[in-house]
Amino acid sequence: MPKKAAKSKPAAPVLRPMKGVVTITRQVHFNSAHRLWNPTKSQAWNEKQFGLCTNPHWHGHNYVLEVSLRGQPDPDTGCIMDLGDLKDLLNTHVVDKCDHRNLNDQVDFLRGIIPSTENLVIAFWNELQPHIPAGRLYCVKLYETPRNFAEYHGPDVS
């Protein structure tokens, strides 16, 4: 009877880290009320500038927040950041503080600003930036409605 050939161990897989800059995005939702109002101006001025959005009894939005990070995928994971971890970060630093709140007077980091979509994306960037552990914060985009949104790419982008 012929001898069986010895089984050789399969070669260890060789991982090929991919080089390139990638953008990842996580989307979260929250609902908030606000009033566009400049307290240094008259009621007439505010009504002319903001129309119905300056209603003294507030108005609300179902906001959609998209936050994007940019960076090289980690060679060990293939990821810039775990998207579940990014979701947790967004919830902790923005959603949990803003959801079902009045943005004018119930959110500490928004005190003293007019909560326009433009100002909100800058404020959200400032809240999130110190907590991004991997990659770099690339874009904060906020949809006030499906047709109205603002995006911010940071203070160093002109």
> Which domain CATH number covers 54?
3.30.479.10
Answer yes or no: is 7 within a domain. Answer: no
Distance in angstroms (rounded) separating the CA atoms of residues 90 and 48: 35
Question: Considering 47, 53, 61, 151, which one is annotated as catalytic?
Answer: 53
Statement: residue 12 has pLDDT above 90 = no
CA-wise closest residue to 72 among 154, 134, 16, 125: 134
pLDDT at 143: 98
pLDDT in tens, 84-140: 999 999 999 999 999 999 999 999 999 999 999 999 999 999 999 999 987 899 999
Active-site residue, 139 included: no
Give residue 138's domain range.
Answer: 22-61+70-81+90-146
Helices then strands, each counted (H, E), the chain? 4, 5
Answer yes or no: is 151 within a domain. Answer: no
Question: Considering 29, 59, 100, 131, which one is annotated as catalytic?
Answer: 100
Phi, psi dihedrals of residue 21, rounded to the nearest 5°: -95, 130
Answer yes or no: is 35 within a domain. Answer: yes
- Overall number of domains in the chain: 1
Average pLDDT over residues 42-67: 96
Active-site residue, 34 included: no
Active-site residue, 47 included: no
Question: Considering 47, 66, 144, 151, which one is annotated as catalytic?
Answer: 144
Out of 9-13, 73-77, 86-90, pick the least confident.
Answer: 9-13
Distance in angstroms (rounded) separating the CA atoms of residues 24 and 139: 10
Answer yes or no: is 16 within a domain. Answer: no
Average pLDDT over residues 40-60: 96
Answer yes or no: is 8 within a domain. Answer: no
